[in-house]
A = this chain, B = another copy of it.
Amino acid sequence: MKQPIGIFDSGVGGLTVYKAIKRAFPAENIIYFGDTARVPYGPKSENTIIEYSIQNARFLLQKDIKILVVACNTSSAVALQELEKLTDIPIIGVIKPGSKLATDSTHNNHIGVIGTEGTIRSEAYNKAIKSILPEAEIFSCACPLFVPLVEEGWLNHPVSRIVAEEYLNFFKDKEIDTLVLGCTHYPLLKSLIDEIMEHKVKLIDSADAIALHLKTLLPVESSTEPVMDRFYVSDNEAKFSQIAEYILGVQPTPIKRVRLYESWFE
């Protein structure tokens, strides 16, 4: 059996990345891990995000993966360097591919970024975009309530509209022509965000960006071998399955719950 691609995310949102990779590489085996017990990562401290990311990466590395994809924007923003110390296989976060796509898209060099508190605080997108396009002007804004609203399933709810209007009002006078959706949950609010931005702004989705980037690293093969994807979560298999069906159109299978050996120490 072909060595699999490993993907981890803080929860279910990374399935948008899984979906884009699967579409681009139908002959690859993929192992997905969603840390649904400890979601969300966005409000956590840098130390904790790094610890959790290392644990998730180690779990996938045990499965003999050939590439590790960090679908979680917060982990990508904060923990990528530490993860690279664990292994020699390629590790791909969402920040660089998303930044590349944003710089390709912009005409006036005014780029907006939305994400979790952890992602925005890290300034990872700012640094990555500036390294490609030094003259870019970057405007970033944390949207901490977007994740709970998506988890609640309020995708078209009036409350989500008011919250989105409040957050996105920040971009009113910034004249951005490109907006990075810097969190795997945000593509689920894409049409709402698009509407509030009056369809004038190109929205950059991490999932598309990472699948595009992966094509530069991995040949697209057509294989006659049977393909076998596997899904692991740290909690709530049933809830994962339900949201997954919404994202993927089918219920993923098999889904297995993994547990942690844990005890507090000072």
Task: Tell me the A residues contacting B by CB distance below 8 Å.
Answer: 37-38, 43-45, 47-48, 51, 55-56, 58-59, 144-145, 147-149, 151-152, 158-159, 162-163, 166, 232, 234-236, 239, 256, 258-266
* Residues in chain B near residue A162, CB distance under 8 A: 158-159, 162
- Pair A55/B263 contact, Cβ less than 8 Å: yes
Copies in the complex: 2
- Interface residue SS majority, chain A: mixed
A sample of 19 inter-chain contacts (CB < 8 A) reads A37-B44, A43-B151, A48-B234, A51-B262, A55-B263, A58-B264, A59-B263, A59-B264, A144-B148, A144-B152, A145-B152, A147-B148, A148-B148, A159-B159, A256-B266, A259-B266, A260-B262, A260-B264, A261-B262
Closest to A163 in B: B159
Quick one: which of A59, A159, A234, A264 has the most chain B CB within 10 A?
Answer: A264
- Pair A262/B262 contact, Cβ less than 8 Å: yes
